[in-house]
């Protein structure tokens, strides 16, 4: 099982808004924030899974502070 934490990074003068999906141990992926997407945090988690060829079902939850999302990936097939 893998834990993925996603976090929104606001835009700066040099970069657009983005989401970082991080699974620890230098396993991370950054995507541009898609305002049209229904769940951009989930999209970032899925892209991280694709990057490392992880297959499983993503289970989503929130963190107590409300500024990040947590995804757990198990050993089944990823459902989008």
- Mean pLDDT, rounded, for 49-55: 89
Residues linked to residue 5 through DSSP beta bridges, in sequence order: 22, 70
Residues 6+ apart with CB under 8 A from 8: 17, 18, 19, 33, 41, 67, 68
Q: Using an 8 Å Cβ cutoff, are 28 and 22 in contact?
A: yes
pLDDT at 55: 81
pLDDT at 27: 93
pLDDT confidence of 2, banded at 50, 70, 90? Answer: confident
pLDDT given for residue 75 in this prediction: 59
Write the pLDDT tens digit of every residue in 14-32.
999 999 999 999 999 999 9
């Amino acid at each position: 099982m893998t834990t993925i934490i996603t976090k929104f990074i606001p835009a700066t003068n040099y970069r657009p808004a983005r989401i970082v999906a991080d699974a620890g141990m230098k396993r991370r992926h950054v995507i541009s924030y898609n305002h049209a997407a229904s769940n951009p945090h989930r999209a970032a988690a899925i892209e991280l899974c694709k990057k490392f060829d992880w297959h499983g079902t993503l289970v989503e939850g929130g963190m107590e502070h409300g500024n990040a999302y947590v995804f757990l990936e198990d050993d089944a097939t990823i459902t989008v």
